[in-house]
Protein backbone atom coordinates (compact mmCIF):
# COMPACT_ATOMS: atom_id res chain seq x y z
CA UNK A 1 0.00 0.00 0.00
CA UNK A 2 1.19 3.52 -0.73
CA UNK A 3 2.73 5.54 2.08
CA UNK A 4 0.66 8.47 3.36
CA UNK A 5 2.21 11.38 5.23
CA UNK A 6 0.20 12.17 8.32
CA UNK A 7 0.42 15.96 8.06
CA UNK A 8 -0.84 17.92 5.07
CA UNK A 9 1.99 19.83 3.47
CA UNK A 10 2.17 23.54 4.29
CA UNK A 11 3.60 26.65 2.68
CA UNK A 12 5.45 29.51 4.40
CA UNK A 13 2.36 31.73 4.37
CA UNK A 14 0.66 29.32 6.76
CA UNK A 15 3.19 29.97 9.53
CA UNK A 16 4.12 32.81 11.86
CA UNK A 17 6.86 33.28 14.42
CA UNK A 18 5.89 33.88 18.03
CA UNK A 19 8.28 36.33 19.75
CA UNK A 20 10.69 35.16 22.42
CA UNK A 21 12.50 37.16 25.13
CA UNK A 22 14.59 40.03 23.74
CA UNK A 23 17.55 41.06 25.90
CA UNK A 24 19.09 44.57 25.79
CA UNK A 25 22.01 43.49 23.58
CA UNK A 26 19.72 41.69 21.15
CA UNK A 27 19.53 44.58 18.67
CA UNK A 28 19.64 44.51 14.86
CA UNK A 29 23.20 45.93 14.73
CA UNK A 30 24.41 42.94 16.74
CA UNK A 31 22.81 40.35 14.48
CA UNK A 32 25.15 38.26 12.32
CA UNK A 33 23.64 36.60 9.27
CA UNK A 34 26.78 34.55 8.61
CA UNK A 35 25.94 31.02 7.51
CA UNK A 36 27.73 27.87 6.30
CA UNK A 37 27.50 26.86 2.65
CA UNK A 38 29.36 23.54 2.60
CA UNK A 39 29.53 20.59 4.97
CA UNK A 40 31.91 20.54 7.90
CA UNK A 41 32.82 18.32 10.82
CA UNK A 42 31.67 19.11 14.33
CA UNK A 43 34.10 21.56 15.95
CA UNK A 44 35.62 22.59 12.61
CA UNK A 45 34.94 25.65 10.47
CA UNK A 46 33.22 25.23 7.07
CA UNK A 47 35.55 26.03 4.18
CA UNK A 48 32.92 28.36 2.66
CA UNK A 49 30.51 30.64 4.50
CA UNK A 50 28.31 33.53 3.35
CA UNK A 51 27.72 36.81 5.13
CA UNK A 52 24.02 36.85 4.24
CA UNK A 53 21.87 33.74 3.78
CA UNK A 54 20.88 34.38 0.15
CA UNK A 55 21.84 32.67 -3.09
CA UNK A 56 20.41 33.40 -6.52
CA UNK A 57 18.71 30.72 -8.59
CA UNK A 58 20.43 28.73 -11.33
CA UNK A 59 18.35 30.39 -14.05
CA UNK A 60 18.94 32.18 -17.35
CA UNK A 61 16.67 35.01 -16.28
CA UNK A 62 18.42 35.48 -12.92
CA UNK A 63 22.08 34.58 -12.49
CA UNK A 64 24.67 35.94 -14.89
CA UNK A 65 28.02 37.53 -14.09
CA UNK A 66 26.54 40.97 -13.46
CA UNK A 67 24.08 39.74 -10.84
CA UNK A 68 26.81 37.54 -9.35
CA UNK A 69 29.05 40.56 -8.74
CA UNK A 70 26.19 42.59 -7.27
CA UNK A 71 25.18 39.78 -4.90
CA UNK A 72 28.74 38.96 -3.82
CA UNK A 73 29.09 42.66 -2.90
CA UNK A 74 26.23 42.17 -0.45
CA UNK A 75 27.67 38.94 0.99
CA UNK A 76 25.72 36.23 -0.90
CA UNK A 77 26.44 33.91 -3.84
CA UNK A 78 25.00 33.57 -7.34
CA UNK A 79 24.88 30.24 -9.10
CA UNK A 80 25.53 31.10 -12.75
CA UNK A 81 23.06 29.26 -14.95
CA UNK A 82 24.14 26.04 -16.59
CA UNK A 83 21.67 26.02 -19.49
CA UNK A 84 24.30 27.50 -21.81
CA UNK A 85 27.45 26.14 -23.41
CA UNK A 86 30.33 25.14 -21.14
CA UNK A 87 32.48 27.87 -22.73
CA UNK A 88 29.90 30.62 -22.16
CA UNK A 89 29.26 29.59 -18.56
CA UNK A 90 32.99 29.35 -17.79
CA UNK A 91 33.48 32.79 -19.38
CA UNK A 92 30.83 34.27 -17.04
CA UNK A 93 32.55 32.72 -14.03
CA UNK A 94 35.90 34.04 -15.27
CA UNK A 95 34.44 37.54 -15.62
CA UNK A 96 33.29 37.49 -11.99
CA UNK A 97 36.67 36.25 -10.81
CA UNK A 98 38.47 38.77 -13.04
CA UNK A 99 36.43 41.68 -11.74
CA UNK A 100 38.66 43.38 -9.23
CA UNK A 101 36.51 45.22 -6.75
CA UNK A 102 37.03 48.94 -7.36
CA UNK A 103 39.27 48.41 -10.42
CA UNK A 104 37.32 48.88 -13.65
CA UNK A 105 38.32 48.48 -17.26
CA UNK A 106 37.86 51.90 -18.84
CA UNK A 107 34.74 51.92 -21.03
CA UNK A 108 35.25 55.46 -22.39
CA UNK A 109 38.36 55.83 -24.50
CA UNK A 110 39.51 58.06 -27.36
CA UNK A 111 42.74 58.66 -29.31
CA UNK A 112 44.80 61.87 -29.03
CA UNK A 113 43.68 62.82 -32.56
CA UNK A 114 39.98 62.28 -31.77
CA UNK A 115 37.89 65.46 -31.60
CA UNK A 116 36.12 67.12 -28.67
CA UNK A 117 32.87 66.18 -30.43
CA UNK A 118 33.91 62.51 -30.16
CA UNK A 119 34.33 62.99 -26.40
CA UNK A 120 30.86 64.54 -26.11
CA UNK A 121 29.34 61.72 -28.17
CA UNK A 122 31.06 59.13 -26.01
CA UNK A 123 29.80 60.77 -22.83
CA UNK A 124 26.25 60.64 -24.17
CA UNK A 125 26.68 56.94 -24.91
CA UNK A 126 28.34 55.77 -21.68
CA UNK A 127 27.22 58.47 -19.26
CA UNK A 128 30.82 58.77 -18.03
CA UNK A 129 32.62 62.10 -18.09
CA UNK A 130 36.16 60.81 -17.51
CA UNK A 131 37.63 59.59 -20.78
CA UNK A 132 40.99 57.85 -21.13
CA UNK A 133 43.15 58.93 -24.05
CA UNK A 134 45.12 55.96 -25.33
CA UNK A 135 47.39 55.76 -28.40
CA UNK A 136 44.97 53.45 -30.22
CA UNK A 137 41.76 54.43 -28.44
CA UNK A 138 41.39 50.97 -26.81
CA UNK A 139 40.79 50.32 -23.07
CA UNK A 140 44.28 48.81 -22.63
CA UNK A 141 46.27 50.93 -25.09
CA UNK A 142 49.29 53.09 -24.20
CA UNK A 143 48.01 55.88 -21.95
CA UNK A 144 48.54 59.35 -23.43
CA UNK A 145 46.33 61.42 -21.13
CA UNK A 146 42.90 61.92 -19.59
CA UNK A 147 40.18 64.26 -20.76
CA UNK A 148 37.09 65.10 -18.73
CA UNK A 149 34.08 67.30 -19.36
CA UNK A 150 35.74 69.93 -17.14
CA UNK A 151 38.63 70.36 -19.59
CA UNK A 152 36.62 72.21 -22.24
CA UNK A 153 33.47 74.30 -22.35
CA UNK A 154 30.82 73.39 -24.88
CA UNK A 155 29.83 76.50 -26.89
CA UNK A 156 33.27 78.10 -26.40
CA UNK A 157 35.69 75.44 -27.60
CA UNK A 158 35.85 74.43 -31.27
CA UNK A 159 34.36 70.95 -31.20
CA UNK A 160 36.61 69.90 -34.08
CA UNK A 161 39.72 70.56 -31.98
CA UNK A 162 41.91 67.59 -31.22
CA UNK A 163 41.68 65.92 -27.83
CA UNK A 164 45.48 66.27 -27.45
CA UNK A 165 45.10 70.09 -27.18
CA UNK A 166 42.76 69.87 -24.18
CA UNK A 167 43.64 66.67 -22.30
CA UNK A 168 45.80 66.42 -19.20
CA UNK A 169 48.87 64.82 -20.77
CA UNK A 170 50.50 61.70 -19.33
CA UNK A 171 53.45 63.74 -18.00
CA UNK A 172 51.08 65.63 -15.66
CA UNK A 173 49.01 62.64 -14.56
CA UNK A 174 49.20 60.84 -11.24
CA UNK A 175 49.02 57.12 -11.98
CA UNK A 176 49.11 53.90 -9.98
CA UNK A 177 51.18 50.82 -10.84
CA UNK A 178 49.39 47.59 -11.74
CA UNK A 179 49.29 45.40 -8.62
CA UNK A 180 48.58 48.13 -6.07
CA UNK A 181 45.77 47.45 -3.62
CA UNK A 182 42.53 49.35 -3.54
CA UNK A 183 43.53 51.00 -0.26
CA UNK A 184 46.81 52.20 -1.79
CA UNK A 185 44.93 53.53 -4.81
CA UNK A 186 42.56 55.32 -2.50
CA UNK A 187 45.49 56.89 -0.62
CA UNK A 188 46.73 58.39 -3.90
CA UNK A 189 43.23 59.62 -4.79
CA UNK A 190 42.94 61.47 -1.48
CA UNK A 191 46.52 62.73 -1.34
CA UNK A 192 46.34 64.27 -4.81
CA UNK A 193 42.65 65.26 -4.67
CA UNK A 194 41.83 63.16 -7.73
CA UNK A 195 38.48 61.94 -9.01
CA UNK A 196 40.06 59.04 -10.85
CA UNK A 197 43.35 57.19 -10.88
CA UNK A 198 44.58 55.37 -14.02
CA UNK A 199 46.46 52.15 -13.25
CA UNK A 200 49.22 51.34 -15.75
CA UNK A 201 51.66 48.49 -16.37
CA UNK A 202 55.41 48.86 -16.85
CA UNK A 203 54.93 49.70 -20.56
CA UNK A 204 52.50 52.53 -19.66
CA UNK A 205 49.54 50.53 -20.99
CA UNK A 206 46.28 51.40 -19.26
CA UNK A 207 45.04 48.45 -17.16
CA UNK A 208 42.23 49.87 -15.03
CA UNK A 209 40.69 53.03 -13.69
CA UNK A 210 39.92 53.50 -10.00
CA UNK A 211 37.22 56.09 -9.31
CA UNK A 212 36.77 57.98 -6.07
CA UNK A 213 33.04 57.21 -6.09
CA UNK A 214 33.67 53.46 -6.53
CA UNK A 215 35.90 53.37 -3.49
CA UNK A 216 33.03 54.90 -1.54
CA UNK A 217 30.83 52.09 -2.87
CA UNK A 218 33.43 49.52 -1.77
CA UNK A 219 33.27 51.03 1.72
CA UNK A 220 29.48 50.73 1.57
CA UNK A 221 29.73 46.95 1.27
CA UNK A 222 31.27 45.75 4.51
CA UNK A 223 29.81 42.26 4.00
CA UNK A 224 31.19 41.63 0.51
CA UNK A 225 32.16 38.02 -0.08
CA UNK A 226 35.74 37.65 -1.31
CA UNK A 227 38.14 34.74 -1.72
CA UNK A 228 41.71 34.72 -0.37
CA UNK A 229 42.88 36.65 -3.41
CA UNK A 230 40.22 39.32 -2.89
CA UNK A 231 38.11 38.14 -5.83
CA UNK A 232 34.35 37.79 -5.60
CA UNK A 233 33.02 34.35 -4.65
CA UNK A 234 30.83 32.79 -7.35
CA UNK A 235 28.88 29.58 -7.87
CA UNK A 236 27.62 27.70 -10.93
CA UNK A 237 24.94 25.16 -11.80
CA UNK A 238 25.87 21.84 -13.40
CA UNK A 239 23.84 18.90 -14.72
CA UNK A 240 24.14 15.12 -14.49
CA UNK A 241 25.04 14.69 -18.17
CA UNK A 242 28.13 16.69 -19.15
CA UNK A 243 29.75 17.18 -15.74
CA UNK A 244 33.05 15.52 -16.70
CA UNK A 245 33.62 18.33 -19.22
CA UNK A 246 31.77 21.19 -17.47
CA UNK A 247 33.29 20.84 -14.00
CA UNK A 248 36.97 21.15 -15.07
CA UNK A 249 36.11 24.18 -17.24
CA UNK A 250 34.35 25.88 -14.33
CA UNK A 251 37.16 25.02 -11.90
CA UNK A 252 39.68 26.39 -14.37
CA UNK A 253 37.63 29.62 -14.55
CA UNK A 254 37.86 29.86 -10.75
CA UNK A 255 34.40 28.77 -9.58
CA UNK A 256 34.13 28.44 -5.80
CA UNK A 257 31.06 26.22 -5.46
CA UNK A 258 28.79 24.26 -7.80
CA UNK A 259 25.38 22.70 -7.50
CA UNK A 260 23.68 19.93 -9.41
CA UNK A 261 20.65 21.70 -10.76
CA UNK A 262 17.71 19.39 -11.12
CA UNK A 263 14.01 19.57 -10.42
CA UNK A 264 14.30 16.24 -8.61
CA UNK A 265 17.52 15.03 -7.00
CA UNK A 266 16.66 11.69 -5.37
CA UNK A 267 18.18 9.84 -8.31
CA UNK A 268 20.91 7.48 -9.36
CA UNK A 269 22.12 10.20 -11.76
CA UNK A 270 22.95 12.58 -8.89
CA UNK A 271 24.67 9.82 -6.90
CA UNK A 272 26.86 8.97 -9.87
CA UNK A 273 27.68 12.60 -10.59
CA UNK A 274 28.66 13.32 -6.96
CA UNK A 275 30.80 10.18 -6.88
CA UNK A 276 32.58 10.84 -10.19
CA UNK A 277 33.23 14.53 -9.49
CA UNK A 278 34.57 13.99 -5.99
CA UNK A 279 36.75 11.10 -7.17
CA UNK A 280 38.35 13.19 -9.93
CA UNK A 281 38.38 16.63 -8.23
CA UNK A 282 38.41 16.05 -4.44
CA UNK A 283 38.56 19.77 -3.74
CA UNK A 284 35.39 20.58 -5.74
CA UNK A 285 32.40 21.54 -3.61
CA UNK A 286 29.10 20.29 -5.01
CA UNK A 287 25.56 20.86 -3.74
CA UNK A 288 22.78 18.51 -4.81
CA UNK A 289 19.00 18.39 -4.97
CA UNK A 290 16.20 19.08 -5.02
CA UNK A 291 14.58 16.86 -2.41
CA UNK A 292 11.55 17.34 -0.15
CA UNK A 293 11.78 14.65 2.51
CA UNK A 294 14.05 12.75 4.89
CA UNK A 295 14.70 9.90 2.45
CA UNK A 296 15.87 12.27 -0.27
CA UNK A 297 18.15 14.14 2.13
CA UNK A 298 19.73 10.97 3.57
CA UNK A 299 20.33 9.65 0.06
CA UNK A 300 22.20 12.78 -1.05
CA UNK A 301 24.06 13.05 2.26
CA UNK A 302 25.37 9.50 1.83
CA UNK A 303 26.17 10.25 -1.80
CA UNK A 304 28.53 13.01 -0.67
CA UNK A 305 26.61 16.25 -1.29
CA UNK A 306 28.32 19.32 0.17
CA UNK A 307 24.92 20.95 0.69
CA UNK A 308 21.39 19.86 -0.10
CA UNK A 309 18.72 21.90 -1.83
CA UNK A 310 15.05 21.54 -0.88
CA UNK A 311 11.98 22.26 -3.00
CA UNK A 312 9.83 20.73 -5.69
CA UNK A 313 7.03 22.62 -7.33
CA UNK A 314 7.06 25.73 -5.14
CA UNK A 315 8.85 28.14 -7.49
CA UNK A 316 6.84 31.14 -8.67
CA UNK A 317 7.22 30.17 -12.35
CA UNK A 318 6.82 26.46 -11.64
CA UNK A 319 4.00 24.29 -12.97
CA UNK A 320 5.57 20.95 -12.04
CA UNK A 321 2.84 20.15 -9.52
CA UNK A 322 0.14 20.79 -12.11
CA UNK A 323 1.94 18.93 -14.86
CA UNK A 324 3.21 15.92 -12.95
CA UNK A 325 1.51 15.90 -9.57
CA UNK A 326 4.78 15.80 -7.63
CA UNK A 327 6.04 18.17 -4.95
CA UNK A 328 5.45 19.24 -1.39
CA UNK A 329 4.60 22.44 0.46
CA UNK A 330 7.90 24.29 0.91
CA UNK A 331 7.57 24.82 4.66
CA UNK A 332 6.81 21.17 5.42
CA UNK A 333 9.64 20.04 3.14
CA UNK A 334 12.10 22.40 4.84
CA UNK A 335 11.04 21.32 8.34
CA UNK A 336 11.40 17.60 7.56
CA UNK A 337 14.73 17.95 5.76
CA UNK A 338 16.08 20.11 8.62
CA UNK A 339 15.17 17.34 11.07
CA UNK A 340 16.96 14.81 8.86
CA UNK A 341 20.02 17.10 8.68
CA UNK A 342 20.12 17.32 12.50
CA UNK A 343 19.69 13.55 12.80
CA UNK A 344 22.56 13.02 10.35
CA UNK A 345 24.73 15.49 12.27
CA UNK A 346 24.02 13.76 15.61
CA UNK A 347 24.86 10.39 14.08
CA UNK A 348 27.96 11.27 12.02
CA UNK A 349 29.24 14.59 13.39
CA UNK A 350 28.99 16.03 9.86
CA UNK A 351 26.82 19.12 9.37
CA UNK A 352 25.40 19.39 5.86
CA UNK A 353 23.91 22.84 5.18
CA UNK A 354 20.48 22.88 3.59
CA UNK A 355 19.05 25.47 1.21
CA UNK A 356 15.35 26.19 0.83
CA UNK A 357 14.86 26.77 -2.89
CA UNK A 358 11.81 28.50 -4.39
CA UNK A 359 8.50 29.83 -3.19
CA UNK A 360 9.81 32.81 -1.20
CA UNK A 361 7.30 35.60 -1.80
CA UNK A 362 7.61 37.93 1.19
CA UNK A 363 10.76 38.88 3.05
CA UNK A 364 9.41 37.23 6.18
CA UNK A 365 9.33 33.91 4.30
CA UNK A 366 13.15 34.07 4.31
CA UNK A 367 13.14 34.39 8.09
CA UNK A 368 10.65 31.54 8.41
CA UNK A 369 12.79 29.27 6.22
CA UNK A 370 15.84 30.03 8.37
CA UNK A 371 13.88 29.51 11.59
CA UNK A 372 12.68 26.16 10.25
CA UNK A 373 16.28 25.05 9.84
CA UNK A 374 17.42 26.24 6.40
CA UNK A 375 20.98 27.58 6.41
CA UNK A 376 20.28 29.72 3.38
CA UNK A 377 17.59 30.32 0.78
CA UNK A 378 17.68 30.32 -3.02
CA UNK A 379 15.56 32.88 -4.86
CA UNK A 380 14.64 33.43 -8.47
CA UNK A 381 11.68 35.82 -8.71
CA UNK A 382 13.13 38.03 -5.97
CA UNK A 383 16.36 38.73 -7.88
CA UNK A 384 14.76 38.80 -11.34
CA UNK A 385 13.09 42.11 -10.39
CA UNK A 386 16.35 44.02 -9.95
CA UNK A 387 18.43 46.19 -12.30
CA UNK A 388 21.26 43.66 -12.24
CA UNK A 389 19.28 40.64 -13.50
CA UNK A 390 20.02 39.74 -17.12
CA UNK A 391 16.55 40.29 -18.61
CA UNK A 392 14.85 43.19 -20.38
CA UNK A 393 13.07 45.95 -18.50
CA UNK A 394 9.79 46.78 -20.27
CA UNK A 395 6.70 48.88 -19.75
CA UNK A 396 3.53 46.78 -19.63
CA UNK A 397 0.22 48.54 -19.00
CA UNK A 398 2.08 51.59 -17.76
CA UNK A 399 4.18 49.68 -15.23
CA UNK A 400 7.86 48.82 -15.37
CA UNK A 401 8.39 45.08 -15.37
CA UNK A 402 11.24 42.69 -15.98
CA UNK A 403 11.02 39.39 -17.79
CA UNK A 404 11.29 36.18 -15.77
CA UNK A 405 11.02 32.67 -17.18
CA UNK A 406 11.42 29.18 -15.72
CA UNK A 407 14.21 26.84 -16.69
CA UNK A 408 11.51 24.30 -17.61
CA UNK A 409 9.74 26.68 -19.98
CA UNK A 410 10.07 26.42 -23.74
CA UNK A 411 11.94 29.70 -23.64
CA UNK A 412 14.83 28.31 -21.56
CA UNK A 413 14.74 24.78 -22.97
CA UNK A 414 16.84 23.49 -20.09
CA UNK A 415 15.96 19.88 -20.70
CA UNK A 416 18.83 18.54 -18.56
CA UNK A 417 17.12 19.92 -15.46
CA UNK A 418 14.06 17.77 -16.10
CA UNK A 419 15.93 14.80 -17.51
CA UNK A 420 14.79 11.46 -16.11
CA UNK A 421 17.29 9.42 -18.11
CA UNK A 422 16.86 7.89 -21.53
CA UNK A 423 17.14 9.73 -24.80
CA UNK A 424 14.01 11.88 -24.68
CA UNK A 425 14.37 15.61 -24.22
CA UNK A 426 11.99 18.07 -22.54
CA UNK A 427 8.65 17.15 -24.00
CA UNK A 428 6.27 19.21 -21.89
CA UNK A 429 6.78 22.47 -20.06
CA UNK A 430 7.33 22.58 -16.29
CA UNK A 431 7.69 26.35 -16.11
CA UNK A 432 6.14 29.52 -17.48
CA UNK A 433 7.42 32.69 -19.13
CA UNK A 434 6.33 35.74 -17.14
CA UNK A 435 6.86 39.35 -16.04
CA UNK A 436 7.72 40.50 -12.52
CA UNK A 437 7.39 44.05 -11.21
CA UNK A 438 10.63 45.99 -11.59
CA UNK A 439 11.99 46.84 -8.15
CA UNK A 440 15.22 48.87 -8.55
CA UNK A 441 18.71 48.04 -7.37
CA UNK A 442 19.79 44.79 -5.76
CA UNK A 443 21.66 46.68 -3.08
CA UNK A 444 18.65 48.68 -1.89
CA UNK A 445 16.35 45.67 -1.85
CA UNK A 446 18.74 43.24 -0.20
CA UNK A 447 19.62 45.85 2.43
CA UNK A 448 15.94 46.24 3.27
CA UNK A 449 15.24 42.49 3.31
CA UNK A 450 18.22 41.78 5.56
CA UNK A 451 17.15 44.55 7.87
CA UNK A 452 13.73 42.93 8.23
CA UNK A 453 15.34 39.54 8.99
CA UNK A 454 17.58 41.13 11.64
CA UNK A 455 14.61 42.84 13.29
CA UNK A 456 12.52 39.65 13.36
CA UNK A 457 15.46 37.69 14.76
CA UNK A 458 15.65 40.20 17.61
CA UNK A 459 11.92 39.67 18.25
CA UNK A 460 12.79 35.99 18.62
CA UNK A 461 15.75 36.77 20.92
CA UNK A 462 18.38 35.56 18.42
CA UNK A 463 21.54 37.27 17.16
CA UNK A 464 22.77 34.41 14.95
CA UNK A 465 21.03 32.05 12.54
CA UNK A 466 21.85 28.91 14.61
CA UNK A 467 20.40 30.69 17.64
CA UNK A 468 17.24 31.51 15.67
CA UNK A 469 16.91 27.86 14.67
CA UNK A 470 17.18 26.83 18.30
CA UNK A 471 14.94 29.47 19.84
CA UNK A 472 12.26 30.02 17.19
CA UNK A 473 8.68 29.30 18.15
CA UNK A 474 6.46 28.74 15.11
CA UNK A 475 2.73 28.48 14.83
CA UNK A 476 0.43 27.40 12.02
CA UNK A 477 -2.18 30.04 11.28
CA UNK A 478 -5.82 29.69 10.36
CA UNK A 479 -7.23 31.43 7.27
CA UNK A 480 -9.03 33.86 9.61
CA UNK A 481 -5.78 34.83 11.33
CA UNK A 482 -4.10 35.29 7.95
CA UNK A 483 -6.83 37.82 7.10
CA UNK A 484 -6.30 39.45 10.48
CA UNK A 485 -2.60 39.86 9.59
CA UNK A 486 -3.11 42.41 6.83
CA UNK A 487 -4.94 45.75 7.05
CA UNK A 488 -8.59 44.99 7.69
CA UNK A 489 -11.81 46.75 8.58
CA UNK A 490 -10.42 50.10 7.50
CA UNK A 491 -10.57 51.98 4.22
CA UNK A 492 -6.94 51.99 3.13
CA UNK A 493 -6.01 55.40 1.68
CA UNK A 494 -3.16 54.50 -0.61
CA UNK A 495 -2.18 51.19 -2.07
CA UNK A 496 1.40 50.12 -2.29
CA UNK A 497 3.12 46.89 -3.19
CA UNK A 498 4.94 45.20 -0.34
CA UNK A 499 7.46 42.48 -1.00
P1 LIG B 1 11.18 31.46 -7.07
O2 LIG B 1 12.21 32.11 -6.20
O3 LIG B 1 9.90 31.17 -6.34
O4 LIG B 1 10.95 32.19 -8.34
O5 LIG B 1 11.74 30.00 -7.45
C6 LIG B 1 12.98 29.80 -8.07
C7 LIG B 1 13.25 28.31 -8.16
O8 LIG B 1 12.27 27.67 -8.99
C9 LIG B 1 14.56 27.93 -8.79
O10 LIG B 1 15.65 28.03 -7.94
C11 LIG B 1 14.31 26.49 -9.22
O12 LIG B 1 14.48 25.57 -8.16
C13 LIG B 1 12.85 26.50 -9.58
N14 LIG B 1 12.62 26.60 -11.03
C15 LIG B 1 13.30 27.30 -11.96
N16 LIG B 1 12.74 27.17 -13.18
C17 LIG B 1 11.69 26.36 -13.03
C18 LIG B 1 10.72 25.84 -13.93
O19 LIG B 1 10.66 26.14 -15.12
N20 LIG B 1 9.80 24.99 -13.38
C21 LIG B 1 9.82 24.65 -12.07
N22 LIG B 1 10.68 25.14 -11.19
C23 LIG B 1 11.62 25.97 -11.67
- Among 246, 271, 318, 385, the one annotated catalytic: 318
pLDDT bin (cut points 50, 70, 90) of residue 427 is confident
pLDDT bin (cut points 50, 70, 90) of residue 140 is very high
Q: Say how far apart CA 400 and CA 385 lie, in whole Å.
A: 10
pLDDT bin (cut points 50, 70, 90) of residue 179 is confident
400 φ, ψ (degrees, to nearest 5): -75, 130
CA of 357 to the centre of ligand 1 (A): 8
Q: Is 460 a catalytic residue?
A: no
Mean pLDDT (the chain, rounded): 93
CA of 317 to the centre of ligand 1 (A): 6
**13 pLDDT above the threshold of 80:** yes
Q: Which of 229-238, 278-287, 322-331, 489-498 reaches the highest mean pLDDT?
A: 278-287
The mean pLDDT value for 81-100 works out to: 93
**341 pLDDT above the threshold of 70:** yes
The protein residue with its alpha carbon nearest to ligand 1, atom 17, reads 406
pLDDT of res. 458: 98
pLDDT of res. 323: 87
pLDDT of res. 164: 96
**22 pLDDT above the threshold of 90:** yes
pTM score, two decimals? 0.84
The protein residue with its alpha carbon nearest to ligand 1, atom 10, reads 57
State which of 265, 380, 414 you would mutate to test the pocket of ligand 1, scoring each by most atoms of that ligand within 8 A of its C-beta: 380
Ligand 1 atom having least distance to the Cα of 409? 19
Task: List, for residues 277-296, the tens digit of each pLDDT value.
Answer: 999 999 999 999 999 999 99
**382 pLDDT above the threshold of 80:** yes
State which of 57, 287, 377, 378 you would mutate to test the pocket of ligand 1, scoring each by most atoms of that ligand within 8 A of its C-beta: 57
**80 pLDDT above the threshold of 80:** yes
CA of 313 to the centre of ligand 1 (A): 8
**499 pLDDT above the threshold of 80:** no
Peptide bond into 290 cis (omega under 30): yes
How many other β-carbons are positioned within 10 Å of the β-carbon of residue 499? 15
Q: Say how far apart CA 386 and CA 437 lie, in whole Å.
A: 9
Ligand 1 atom having least distance to the Cα of 430? 20
State which of 235, 331, 358, 403 you would mutate to test the pocket of ligand 1, scoring each by most atoms of that ligand within 8 A of its C-beta: 358
Ligand 1 atom having least distance to the Cα of 383? 2
Q: Is 318 a catalytic residue?
A: yes
pLDDT bin (cut points 50, 70, 90) of residue 206 is very high
Ligand 1 atom having least distance to the Cα of 381? 4
Task: List, for residues 457-471, the tens digit of each pLDDT value.
Answer: 999 999 999 999 999
pLDDT bin (cut points 50, 70, 90) of residue 182 is confident
pLDDT bin (cut points 50, 70, 90) of residue 497 is low
**102 pLDDT above the threshold of 90:** no
Q: Which long-range contacts (CB under 8 A, 24 or more apart) does 265-270 make?
A: 265/289, 265/290, 265/291, 265/296, 265/300, 265/308, 265/309, 266/291, 266/295, 266/296, 266/299, 266/300, 267/240, 267/420, 269/240, 269/419, 269/421, 270/240, 270/300, 270/303, 270/305
Beta-ladder partners of 336: none
Geometric angle at alpha carbon 427, from 421 and 433, rounded to 5°: 120
Task: List, for residues 298-309, the tens digit of each pLDDT value.
Answer: 999 999 999 999
Ligand 1 atom having least distance to the Cα of 412? 19
Q: Say how far apart CA 475 and CA 98 lie, in whole Å.
A: 46
Task: List, for residues 221-277, the tens digit of each pLDDT value.
Answer: 889 999 987 789 999 999 999 999 999 999 999 999 999 999 999 999 999 999 999
The protein residue with its alpha carbon nearest to ligand 1, atom 21, reads 318
CA of 86 to the centre of ligand 1 (A): 21
pLDDT bin (cut points 50, 70, 90) of residue 426 is low
Tell which residue, 308, 415, 402, has the closest CA to residue 357: 308
**479 pLDDT above the threshold of 90:** no
How many other β-carbons are positioned within 10 Å of the β-carbon of residue 115? 15
pLDDT of res. 425: 58
- Among 417, 454, 458, 460, the one annotated catalytic: 417
CA of 431 to the centre of ligand 1 (A): 8
The protein residue with its alpha carbon nearest to ligand 1, atom 7, reads 358
pLDDT of res. 495: 59
pLDDT of res. 181: 83
pLDDT of res. 480: 87
Three-class SS of the chain: CCCCCCCCCCCHHHEEEECCCCCCCCCHHHCCCCEECCCEECCCCCCCEECCCEEECCCCCCCCHHHHHHHHHHCCEEEECCCCCHHHHHHHHHHHHHCECCCECCCCEECCCCEHHHHHHHHHHHCCCEEEEECCCCCCCEEEEEEECCCCCCCCCCCCCEHHHHCEEHHHCCCEECCCCHHHHHHHHHHCCCCEEEEECCCCEEEEEEEHHHHHHHHCCCCCCECCCCEECCEEEECCCCHHHHHHHHHHHCCCEEEECCCCCCCHHHHHHHHHHHHHCCCCCEEEEEECCHHHHHHHHHHCCCEEEECCCCCCCECHHHHHCCCCCHHHHHHHHHHHHHHHHHHHCEECCEEEECCCCCHHHHHHHHHCCCCEEEECHHHHCECCCCCCEEEECCEEEEEEECCCCCCCCCHHHHCCCCCCCCCCCCECEEEEECCECHHHHHHHHHHHHHHHHHHCCCCCHHHHHHHCEEEECCHHHHHHHCCCCCCCCCCCCCC
Q: Write out residues with Cβ below 6 Å of ligand 1.
A: 57, 59, 263, 311, 315-318, 320, 357-360, 378-382, 406-409, 430-431
Tell which residue, 421, 386, 304, has the closest CA to residue 352: 304
CA of 358 to the centre of ligand 1 (A): 6
CA of 242 to the centre of ligand 1 (A): 21
Ligand 1 atom having least distance to the Cα of 359? 3
Amino acid sequence: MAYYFEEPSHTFSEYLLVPGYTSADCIPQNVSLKTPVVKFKKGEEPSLTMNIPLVSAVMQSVSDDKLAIALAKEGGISFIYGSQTIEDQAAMVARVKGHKAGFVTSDSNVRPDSTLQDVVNLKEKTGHSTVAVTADGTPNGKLEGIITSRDFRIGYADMNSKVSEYMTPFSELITGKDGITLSEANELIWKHKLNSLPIIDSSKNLKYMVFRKDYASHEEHPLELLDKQHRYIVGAGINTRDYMERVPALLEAGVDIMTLDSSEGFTEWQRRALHDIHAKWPEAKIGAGNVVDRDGFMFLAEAGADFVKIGIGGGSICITREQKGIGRGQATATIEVAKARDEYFAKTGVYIPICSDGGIVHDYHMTLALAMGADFVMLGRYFARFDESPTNKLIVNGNYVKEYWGEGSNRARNWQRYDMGGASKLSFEEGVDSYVPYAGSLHDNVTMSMSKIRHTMCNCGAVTIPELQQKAKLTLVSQASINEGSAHDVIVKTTSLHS
